[in-house]
């Protein structure tokens, strides 16, 4: 199941659009739940989720919107949060996790 780009880029405007977005979010929830219910978890040990664009990605590499609850890939997250349209309010560049550990050693 995929969502049209207009539902990824902006909040739904009609009750039908709201229902489609909720159904997609529910599908993501069920997808995650099925992977977590197996005795050993996913076969490769990595829980995956499907982005609205149809791309499957590891859950730890996805971005979840706190407002609508949908998990997104990086490209969809940039569009969803409108980071490609205006500079962030804090004046810097948007920071995305590049897969490298951000661990800083704390002195004892």
**Would you kindly state where each structural domain of the chain is located, as residue ranges?**
5-80
| Global pTM value | 0.67
Q: Residue 17 has which token pair?
A: 């659009």
The pLDDT of residue 83 is above 60: yes
Short-list 51, 95, 92, CA closest to 75: 51
- The model's pLDDT over 17-44, given as tens digits with 9 standing for 90+, comes to 888 888 888 888 888 888 876 655 566 6
Query: Minimal CA–CA distance to 57: which of 43, 71, 78, 38?
Result: 71
């Amino acid at each position: 199941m995929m969502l049209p780009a207009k539902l990824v880029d902006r909040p739904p405007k009609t009750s039908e659009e709201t229902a489609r977005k909720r159904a997609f979010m529910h599908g993501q929830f069920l997808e995650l739940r099925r992977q977590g219910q197996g005795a050993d978890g996913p076969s490769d040990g990595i829980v995956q989720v499907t982005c609205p664009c149809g791309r499957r990605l590891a859950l730890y590499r996805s971005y979840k919107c706190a407002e609508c609850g949908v998990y997104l890939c990086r490209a969809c997250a940039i569009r969803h949060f409108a980071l490609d349209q205006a500079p962030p309010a804090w004046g810097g560049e948007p920071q995305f996790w590049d897969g490298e550990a951000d661990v800083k050693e704390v002195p004892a």
